[in-house]
């Protein structure tokens, strides 16, 4: 229970940074795209689908279905967080939670998620993403890594 507060603070920070960066991108959208580095551009992409634009074609899932799913996942994450005793796992949950809520707010406000980070090499572009997406991926990777460490510790005992 002692790790709940730092994890929730991290979630709020991720959410705030995500929303602030999206507002900046929307404010300067007429100036985009901007080449920042030879492998990185700032762009504006409206993502009506899920992660990395999956299921985002003309028949994209209705935004309210995705909002409902993300809210259900967020509630599950809060329950997990309340029971979690490991600090790293709690912080990873905070990253995922902050990112999920950031993207939910976009769907509620705009009907799609604002993506703007565009990394590319030799003409091949990774799907554009945002701060929330990055936090979700980092949090999920930490959760996977932590699960392997727990298994390794249990095997050694």
pLDDT tens track, the chain, 157 positions: 689 999 999 999 999 999 999 999 999 999 999 999 999 999 999 998 765 454 555 445 566 787 888 889 999 999 999 999 999 999 999 999 999 999 999 999 998 999 999 999 999 999 999 999 999 999 999 999 988 886 666 666 5
Contact 18, 98 (CB under 8 A): yes
Which residues, including other chains, have CB under 8 Å from residue 8's CB and lie 6 or more apart? 81, 94, 97
**What residues act catalytically?**
115, 133
Q: What is the pTM of this model?
A: 0.87
Report residue 68 CA to chain centroid gap: 16
């Amino acid at each position: 229970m002692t790790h709940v507060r730092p994890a929730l603070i991290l979630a709020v920070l991720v959410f705030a940074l995500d929303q602030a960066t999206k507002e900046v991108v929307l404010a300067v959208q007429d100036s985009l795209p901007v080449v920042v580095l030879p492998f990185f551009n700032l762009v504006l992409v409206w993502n009506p689908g899920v992660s990395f634009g999956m299921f985002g074609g003309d028949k994209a899932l209705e935004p309210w279905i995705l909002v409902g799913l993300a809210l259900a996942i967020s509630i599950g994450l809060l329950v997990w967080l309340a029971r979690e005793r490991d600090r790293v796992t709690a912080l990873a949950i905070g990253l995922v939670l902050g990112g999920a809520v950031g993207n939910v707010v976009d769907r509620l406000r705009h009907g799609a998620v604002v993506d703007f980070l565009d990394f590319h090499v030799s003409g091949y572009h990774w799907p554009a993403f945002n701060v929330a997406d990055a936090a979700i991926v980092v949090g999920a990777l930490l959760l996977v890594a932590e699960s392997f460490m727990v298994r390794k510790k249990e095997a050694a005992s």
